[in-house]
Structure 1
Amino acid sequence: MSEKVYAYDTTLRDGSQAEGVNFSIEDKLRIIAKLDEFGMDYIECGWPGSNPKDTLLFEKLKKIKLNSSKIVAFGSTRRPGKRVEEDPQVEHLIRSSAQTITIFGKSWDFHVLEALKTSLEENLDMIAQTVEYLKRHVPEVIFDAEHFFDGYKRNPDYALEALRYALQGGADWIVLCDTNGGCLPQEIYEITKKVRETFPEAKIGIHVHNDSDCAVANSIMAVLAGARQVHGTINGIGERTGNANLCSVIANLQLKLGFFVVPEENLRKLTELAHFVAEISNMPVPRNMPYVGDSAFAHKAGVHASAVLKESKTYEHVDPSLVGNRRKITVSDLSGKSNIIYKLREMGIEVDERSPEVLRLVEKIKELEKEGYHFEAAEASFELLCKRHFGLVRNYFDLDAYRVLIAKRSTDELPVSEATVRLFVEGVKEHTASLGNGPVSALDRALRKALEEFYPNLREVQLIDYKVRIVNESEGTSAKVRVLIESTDGKRKWGTVGVSENIIEASWIALTDSLVYKLMKDEEEMQ
Structure 2
Amino acid sequence: MKKIEIMDTTLRDGEQTSGVSFSASEKLTIAKLLLEELKVDRIEIASARVSEGEFQAVKDVTRWASENGFIEKVEVLTFVDKGVSINWMIEAGAKVQNLLTKGSLNHLTHQLKKTPEQHFKEIEDTIALATSKGIETNIYLEDWSNGMRNSKDYVFQFLEFLGSQDVKRIMLPDTLGVLTPNESFAFVKEIKDKYPNLHFDFHAHNDYDLGVANAIEAVKGGADGLHLTINGMGERAGNAPMASTIAVINDFMPSVKIGVNEKVLYTVSKLVENFSGITIPANKPIIGANVFTQTAGIHADGDNKKNLYFSDLMPERFGRTRKYALGKASGKANIQKNLQELGLQLNDEDLKKVTQRIIELGDKKQVVTKEDLPYIISDVLDYDYEEKVTVNTYVLNHAKGLKPSTTVSLTIENDTFEEIAQGDGQFDAFMNAIRSIFKKQKRGILPDLIDYAVRIPPGSRSDALCETIITWKSPEKEFKTRGLDSDQTVSAIKATEKMLNIIIN
Quick check: TM above 0.5?
Answer: yes
TM-score (norm 2): 0.75
Alignment-derived partner of residue 384 in structure 1: 375
Matched residue of 1:201: which SS?
Answer: coil
- Counterpart pick for 1:112 among 79, 96, 108: 108
Q: Select which of 134, 140, 144 maps to 2:130.
A: 134
Question: Which residue number in structure 2 is paired with residue 397 of structure 1?
Answer: none
Separation of aligned partners in 1, 2:374 and 2:112: 62
The residue type equivalent to 1:51 in the other structure is: S
2:354 counterpart residue number: 361
| RMSD across aligned positions (CA) | 3.2
Residue aligned with 2:101, SS: strand
Which residue of structure 2 lines up, in the alignment, with residue 479 of structure 1?
none
1:262 positional shift:
2.4
Question: Which residue of structure 2 lines up, in the alignment, with residue 59 of structure 1?
Answer: 59
Q: How far did 1:367 drift? A: 2.4
Question: Larger Rg: 1 or 2?
Answer: 2
Aligned partner of 1:39 in structure 2 is 39
Describe the shift of the 1:27–1:404 C-alpha distance in structure 2 as closer, same or farther (beyond 3 A).
Answer: farther
In 2: Cα distance, 1:388 partner to 1:142 partner: 65
Equivalent position SS for 1:23: coil
Cα distance in structure 1, aligned partners of 2:26 and 2:465: 29
Q: Which residue of 2 aligns with 1:236?
A: 232
Q: Secondary structure at the match of 1:46?
A: strand
- Partner residue, 1:200: 196
Relative distance call for 1:451 and 1:89 in structure 2 (3 A) is: farther
Deviations 1:255-296 (A, max 9, x none): 332333226xx3111111111111111111111111111111
Return the alpha-carbon distance in structure 2 between the equivalents of residues 273 and 69 of structure 1: 21
Q: Is the 8 A contact 1:41 1:69 kept in 2?
A: no
Alignment partner, residue 373 of structure 1? 365
Which residue of 293, 302, 309 maps to 1:314? 309
- Contact between 1:332 and 1:369, CA under 8 Å: does it hold in 2? yes
Say if 2:5 is the partner of 1:3: no
Deviations 1:88-110 (A, max 9, x none): 12321233322322111101001
Does 2:80 match 1:78?
yes
Q: 1:328 to 1:156 in 2, by over 3 A?
A: same
TM-score computed with the length of structure 1 as normaliser: 0.72
Q: Secondary structure at the match of 1:292?
A: coil
CA contact (8 A) 2:145 2:173 kept: yes
Structure 1 distance, partners of 2:48, 2:202, is: 23
Is the contact made by 1:268 and 1:323 (CA closer than 8 Å) also made in structure 2? yes
> Does structure 1 conserve the Cα–Cα contact (< 8 Å) formed by 2:80 and 2:101?
no
Distance in 2 of aligned mates of 1:26 and 1:313 = 46
1:331 — aligned with what? Answer: 326
Q: Distance in 2 between matches of 1:154 and 1:11?
A: 30
Evaluate the alpha carbon distance shift between residue 348 and residue 388 of structure 1 in structure 2; reply closer, same or farther with a 3 A threshold: farther
Question: What one-letter code is carried by the residue in structure 2 that aligns with 1:375?
Answer: V
SS state at 2:111 partner: helix
Per-residue CA distance 1:70-99 (angstroms, 9 max, x = gap): 5433233424xxxx3xx3123212333223
Partner of 1:305: 300
Note the alpha carbon deviations across 1:168-209, whole angstroms, 9 max, x for none: 221111111000001111110000000101111011111111
Residues 1:69 and 1:315: Cα distance change in structure 2 (over 3 Å): farther
Q: Is contact 1:320–1:327 with CA below 8 Å preserved after alignment?
A: yes
| Distance in 2 of aligned mates of 1:227 and 1:107 | 17
CA distance in 2, matches of 1:508, 1:260: 59
Q: Which residue of 1 is the match for residue 270 of structure 2?
A: 275
Listed as ranges, the gaps of 5+ residues in structure 1 are: 392-401, 409-418, 424-449, 467-482, 487-496, 510-527
Q: 1:154 to 1:351 in 2, by over 3 A?
A: same
CA distance in 2 between partners of 1:167 and 1:94 (Å): 26
Aligned partners of 1:128 and 1:169: how far apart in 2?
7
Deviation digits for residues 116-169 of structure 1 (CA, Å, limit 9, x no counterpart): 122222112233332333233336321111111101111111112223323322
Q: CA deviation at 1:63?
A: 2.7
Q: Which residue of structure 1 aligns with residue 389 of structure 2?
A: none
Q: Which runs of 5+ in 2 are unaligned?
A: 383-395, 403-423, 429-451, 467-483, 494-505
Task: Measure the CA separation in 2 of the matches of 1:244 and 1:113.
Answer: 29
SS at match of 2:6: strand
CA deviation vs aligned residue, 1:31-65 (integer Å, no higher than 9, x gap)? 11211221121111102322111111122234313
- Tell me the equivalent position of 1:88: 84
Partner of 2:23: 24
1:200-219 pair list within 5 angstroms: 200-219=196-215
Contact 1:297 1:316 in 2 (8 A): no
In the aligned structure 2, how far is the partner of 1:388 from the partner of 1:6?
Answer: 56
Q: Distance in 1 between matches of 2:247 and 2:167?
A: 28
Aligned to 2:258: 261
Is contact 1:75-1:90 (8 Å) kept?
Answer: no
Alpha-carbon separation, structure 2, partners of 1:9 and 1:407:
59
Distance 1:69 1:125, change over 3 A: same
